[in-house]
Amino acid sequence: MEQDILRLAREVALAERILVITGAGLSADSGLPTYRGLGGLYNGLTPEGMPIERVLSGPMLREKPALCWKYLAELGKACLNAQPNAGHFAIAELQRRKPECWVLTQNIDGYHRLAGCVAERLIEIHGELAPLFCQSCGREDRELEAHLQRPLPPLCPQCGGILRPPVVLFEEMLPEKAIADLHQQLEQGFDLLLLVGTTASFPYIREPVQQTRWRGGFTAEINPAFTDLSQSVVLHLPGRALDVLPKLMSHIFRH
């Protein structure tokens, strides 16, 4: 795999406009649950006999907020108890060295920000877990950790309404600004696209891959297993982002 890392390093060094797309596999190296795929917590049904997509959905938050928050709390506690890993820091370093490097992430843990990614070039397509806000009066609440120690769902101290995170639940629309930012950057095109730890092939991931290849750009994937997109990229590097990205960074600016 060393030769593949060197090949990717040369391509990254030559590229100006870069898009890094990250998924749950990147944060799994920090100890966060992926819910699906290798090591997923809920490849079957939850103890309530429902798919995780049902309990972590917008309709469930409205109908049975305590049940939805049971699993939101699992995610919240996991995020608060872990930290960015070497993969996150390597991506942040790449952004600092490449002023036209963008990061599109499916992750809601906020680790890219904590690792030092440039906020103006970070697209959090599924939102993030904090700060909470009241669905009734709109009041912002930054006490996520404290609320997770109390009975669920968390309530607004101002009006008693149910709080929620600014995250995209299943069956909810993606944020308009994130989609607009992505489309604006896709119009300019990318020289190189790198998939990191994602097994998904949603349109907002598949389209950038296809468009980058169509325009002659280089595409690569870092993932321990083959994914639905592995056949669509030029180079697949089997391994964890935690291990591969720091090695990649150590080679990039030698070429």
- Among candidate residues 88, 112, 126, 251, the one labeled active-site is 126
Burial (CB < 10 A; 0-12, 13-18, 19+), residue 245, is buried
Q: Catalytic annotation on 88?
A: no
* Rounded distance between C-alpha atoms, residue 76 and residue 243, angstroms: 26
C-beta separation of 235 from 8 below 8 A: yes
Residue 40 CA to residue 58 CA, distance in Å, equals 21
Residue type, 223: N
161 contacts: CB under 8 Å, gap ≥ 6:
134, 135, 136, 137, 155
Calculate the alpha carbon distances from 76 to 27, 124, 134, 145, 191 in Å: 13, 17, 17, 8, 36
Q: What is the number of residues in the chain?
A: 255
With contact defined as beta carbons under 8 Å apart, do 115 and 88 qualify? yes
User: 215: buried, middle or exposed (CB in 10 Å: 19+, 13-18, 0-12)?
Assistant: exposed
Interior angle at CA 100, CA 96 and CA 106, nearest 5: 85
Residues with catalytic roles: 126
